[in-house]
Chain A
């Protein structure tokens, strides 16, 4: 059997040709696939965005959660360190008030969703309606 193996050293040199060949082969298939999708029910802009919205909301929720968790831990540690430094040298750079606020801010970071609920209740008279699941705005 006469098979040509692509050596790793020659791969970058072959890339332009290989890519062009692959693109030429793939393009008609892509159009065919799109045509088939176009025929399928529900494959609309709204349908595509439903999938994207579900993914991004879930992923964004995780990112916000980890931000609150990390910043909360950092604020707590900074607060404890500041109060400790203040107790060692009351006239130094470390202010007691900043230490206290750091610990309070740490608590707010760790319970950010509750903080958001409070602010939403202040402004709109009810808890947040945007709850972190994929949602759709409806109009009546």
Chain B
């Protein structure tokens, strides 16, 4: 079990390092693309299919460049208590040390909550990644490249925030059984 927890924490750390990288590269690229769009807006030989795209690209790039704050806005609305921030100090992963004596707990509800707590870092990082993909999906819908409407990425973002706050949700659900 400890090995499995180590693997989960390692995946979580890897995703937590990947997210700022994706945000920086995509945010910077979209920023340049939006300025290019504003420039070409008045080009007489250019008739854009979606004239709002420079604005969409600019706001998406701003959301990506301050992605932790956007996550905090969403998390405050959701109310699960998870807060994110970006740190320049890259740390290695520190998996929780499982205590075999207390891990099982007194009730099945305790066991489930202990398991979720042990994998919490993975859930939080993976939820943040799901929200990031949702944000990118929103941008692609605005671009007109997708068959579906904005509903799909919005649902993805909401459930991504849900995955980040899985401990709060599980605690609430377990409260019904206690």
Contacts and interface: CB of A to CB of B under 8 A. Distances in A.
Contacts of B47: none
Interface residues of B, number: 57
A132 B27 CA distance: 10
Contacts of A47: 92
A138 B20 contact: no
Nearest to B9: A46
17 contacts: A57-B24, A60-B21, A64-B28, A95-B44, A101-B38, A105-B36, A115-B31, A116-B61, A119-B59, A124-B70, A129-B66, A134-B90, A135-B17, A135-B86, A136-B16, A137-B87, A138-B16
Contact of B28 (A60, A101, A135): A60
Contacts of A53: 17-18, 20-21, 90
B68 interface: yes
Contacts, number: 187
Contact of A129 (B38, B59, B83, B86): B86
Interface residues of A, number: 53
B32 interface: yes
Interface of A: 42, 44-50, 52-54, 56-57, 60-61, 64, 67-68, 71, 75, 93, 95, 97-98, 101-102, 105, 108-109, 112, 115-116, 119-120, 122-140
B65 interface: yes
A40 to B, nearest CB: 12
